[in-house]
Structure 1
Amino acid sequence: MLHRRPPTPVDWLVAAVVGLFAVAEEVSGRSMAPSREYLPLWVAGGVVTAVGVLFRRRAPFGVLAVYSAVNVALFALLRENAAAWQFYTQLVLLFTLLSEVRPRGVKAAVGVVATGAYVVAMMLTSSPPAGWGDVAVALVMTMIAAGAGLAVRRHRVLAVLAAERGELLAREAVADERARIARELHDIVAHSVSVMTMQTGGVRLLLREDQDRERDVLTTVEETGRGALEELRRMLGLLRGPEGGGTVPQAGLDRLGDLLEQVRAAGLDVRLDVRGEPVPLPAGLDLSAYRIVQEALTNTLKHAGPTRAAVTVAHRPGELRLEIVDEGPREGRAPARGAGAGGHGLIGMRERVALFQGTLTAGPDGSGGFAVRAVLPR
């Protein structure tokens, strides 16, 4: 709950200031009014007020209502001038209330009315009688406290909305990337099922006439494959949406040369280092590795511009390691990387690595550049 939080260091500081101000003003004697009768009680009242200020954010309405009611009653009974600390405390409590509750709620309205009653009672019991200048100063200070509270409340609401919107956009970005990955992987699966079905049909045609049982089994496998292929095509249609096109050839690490030529033409000086003995990779892993390199180089062009970069593909027993490191923006170009850089590049890389239970690290490399390192189990 918003109002159940414990006092913060700022709360302790404000309460200490109010308590010290109240005690100092009462003990030293007020400059514009005679000294209090029952001085120890007023000093104790200042201390109690400081405690209320300390916990004002836990129950902003309750603290303000009780403080206003007690002070209005004291003004009516004692007919004494208000001390400065009393008025300033009222303003602090009004600010806190309007910064915590809904502006159009009942508590906000009652708090404003209670503060108005406090100001009226303070002016009516003033001695000598308060002039129009005093009334104007009191009203202006009250409006400043109320306006500041409303501004703080609005700032908090906008901050919460911005955080929620950012979280929603992040979820949408993840969903978009997962859908794109799913489309690519479904293309691979559909192609594999199609090849399997055709090969099954080819084997069936090669059977002898007396191999009826084998022919029936292969026919069943072939029909099942065609049914699965049809369902996969329906799923691909749903994933692509109305604007989706047909199946396109899927890329893999064997097409890294073409990718590097494209980014070189865009101004990126990139070199490729392949380590270890390349081995055939599962189609989904091969595609994901290619996409990770592609996204990393695209991000380099987008955020660092024409610069130098190095791509390392390391084939190791049981895993594939990818490293894409750039040198950062060249002299005269401001770096553009940051949380607000936009795009789904890193999100897509994380999703692809997570799909294969791999690991991904991405961030500045300490020399002004940016490094992306991925480990994909095979």
Structure 2
Amino acid sequence: MDRCRPPNAIDWLLAAVTAALSVVEELDMPTRVPGHSHPGWWITAAIAASVLVLLRRRAPFAVICLYSPAIAAALVWSGEPVTAWQFFVQLLLLFTLLGKVPTRDRRTVAGVIMTAVFVGAMLATSPQPPGAGDVAIALGMTFMAAGAGVAVRRHREIAVQARERGELLAREAVAEERTRIARELNDVVAHSVSVMVMQAGAARLMLRPEQLTEREALHVVEETGRDAVEELRRILGLLRTGAEADGLAPQPCLARLDDLVEQMRGAGLDVRLSVEGDRVPLPPGLDLSAYRIVQEALANTLRHAGRTSAGVTVSYRLGALELEILDEGPRDGRTGNAGEQERGQRHGHGLIGMRERVALFDGRLFTGPLHDGGYGVRVTFPLASRAVPDRVAG
């Protein structure tokens, strides 16, 4: 992937610094080391090395293959002592290679061998015979560069694995939520089809004896409906697991929010429920999804904020159903804050389930920390214009 990326700002800066320092060092060489003039072609080599530094991450092995043998041969052939920039560039290229190529790769072995040859040439062309301390420093710095490269590569691999694991968990969570939604909507559809079958049967019994064509048509509707219900029950059997396998519990809806509020109060969450506007009949699937969203939002509040206050507002607007669940944030001495609460909810299954349910009915979802503390969930579902208002009692 790095071969497709152009050099970034750090690469350009490092190359510019390398070019500047190497040229200055080469020009100052006769002053620092009497008797060694370092011919002018070394300046050209220094500039070329800065270009290799710029390209090192795009082709680390090719760059070190160009640099190490060339500089080592030039040192031995000219008899000139090594300069700091030459050693620095070698360590930088070794660090880059080991930071991108696995340790047991042949390119890594070749890079280490070329670095060892370079260090040997550096010590051999030293103005004075190198002592044990000089050798130890050179080897120590080489090992530090190599170790840092390996550490960076392993850190990058761990980060990639963690990201892939997180993506896998997110996909599993989405699949789990979609299965749960499908299971619940399957119940709704099966019930609706059963009602249609019963209505068709009742209509058939009310026909006159001479209405044979109508009777036969309604009979076909009944048989087709029964087959559809049977198929839905088979699918439902595949989707159900564990305690849900009996399927006897009625599906919840917004009309049962009072029961949910009482359950949350019993768990320590102070919940206030408010219903605004004129209630309209909702599609069963949307009604169920709206209830689940409120349920999940309150469960997340209890999970992340503890015993606090929360308000639930259900608003029936013209052509829309709006849900608003707001809490006041932790107030029981927890060290968490709204940001931590947001992170906990954002990476949990709760928000994934909300998103899937809202997307299923072309709604809009907003979640996030509130300006005055706490956390908010706001959902808007579009409603069909054919819905007939029914004044909310009380």
User: Please, what TM-score do these two structures have when normalized by structure 1?
Assistant: 0.95
Contact 1:61–1:97, Cα closer than 8 Å, also in 2:
yes
Mapping of 1:146-157 within 5 angstroms?
A: 146-157=146-157
Partner of residue 347, structure 1: 352
Partner of residue 186, structure 2: 186
Does the residue aligned with 1:170 lie in a helix, a strand or coil?
helix
Q: Tell me how far apart the structure 1 counterparts of residues 118 and 25 of structure 2 sit (CA, whole Å).
A: 20
Residue 310 (str. 1) matches residue 320 (str. 2): no
Aligned-CA RMSD value: 1.8
Q: Tell me how far apart the structure 1 counterparts of residues 112 and 49 of structure 2 sit (CA, whole Å).
A: 19
Deviation at 1:339, TM superposition (A): 2.7
The percentage of counterpart residues that share the same residue type is 57
Moved more, 201-210 or 107-116: 201-210
Q: Tell me how far apart the structure 1 counterparts of residues 74 and 226 of structure 2 sit (CA, whole Å).
A: 90
Partner of residue 66, structure 1: 66
Deviation at 1:174, TM superposition (A): 1.0
- Runs (5+) with no aligned partner, structure 2: 384-394
Mapping of 1:67-106 within 5 angstroms?
A: 67-106=67-106
Deviation at 1:34, TM superposition (A): 3.5
Contact 1:310–1:324, Cα closer than 8 Å, also in 2:
yes
The one-letter code matched in structure 2 to 1:353 is V
Contact 2:342–2:369, Cα closer than 8 Å, also in 1:
no
Number of aligned residue pairs: 378
1:373 to 371, 378, 391: 378
* Cα gap change, 1:127 to 1:297, in 2 (>3 Å): same
The one-letter code matched in structure 1 to 2:364 is T
Residues 67-121 of structure 1, C-alpha deviations (whole Å, 9 max, x = no match): 1111121122122221122111110110011112222222111111110111112
Q: Tell me how far apart the structure 1 counterparts of residues 298 and 344 of structure 2 sit (CA, whole Å).
A: 18
Partner of residue 389, structure 2: none
Contact 2:366–2:377, Cα closer than 8 Å, also in 1:
yes
Does the residue aligned with 1:39 lie in a helix, a strand or coil?
coil
Deviation at 1:32, TM superposition (A): 6.8
Contact 2:307–2:332, Cα closer than 8 Å, also in 1:
no
Q: Tell me how far apart the structure 1 counterparts of residues 329 and 152 of structure 2 sit (CA, whole Å).
A: 40
The one-letter code matched in structure 2 to 1:357 is D
Does the residue aligned with 1:250 lie in a helix, a strand or coil?
coil
Contact 2:95–2:148, Cα closer than 8 Å, also in 1:
yes
Does the residue aligned with 1:128 lie in a helix, a strand or coil?
coil
Contact 2:366–2:378, Cα closer than 8 Å, also in 1:
yes
Deviation at 1:31, TM superposition (A): 7.5
Partner of residue 166, structure 1: 166
Residues 119-157 of structure 1, C-alpha deviations (whole Å, 9 max, x = no match): 112222323222222222111111110010111111111
Residue 281 (str. 1) matches residue 285 (str. 2): no
Contact 2:5–2:58, Cα closer than 8 Å, also in 1:
yes
Moved more, 188-197 or 100-109: 100-109
Deviation at 1:212, TM superposition (A): 2.4
Mapping of 1:1-378 within 5 angstroms?
A: 1-29=1-29, 33-241=33-241, 244-247=244-247, 248-330=249-331, 332-335=333-336, 336-341=340-345, 343-378=348-383
Deviation at 1:272, TM superposition (A): 1.2
Contact 1:362–1:370, Cα closer than 8 Å, also in 2:
yes
Does the residue aligned with 2:97 lie in a helix, a strand or coil?
helix
Q: Tell me how far apart the structure 2 counterparts of residues 242 and 298 of structure 1 sit (CA, whole Å).
A: 22
* Cα gap change, 1:4 to 1:281, in 2 (>3 Å): closer
User: Please, what TM-score do these two structures have when normalized by structure 2?
Assistant: 0.91
Deviation at 1:206, TM superposition (A): 3.2
Deviation at 1:246, TM superposition (A): 2.2
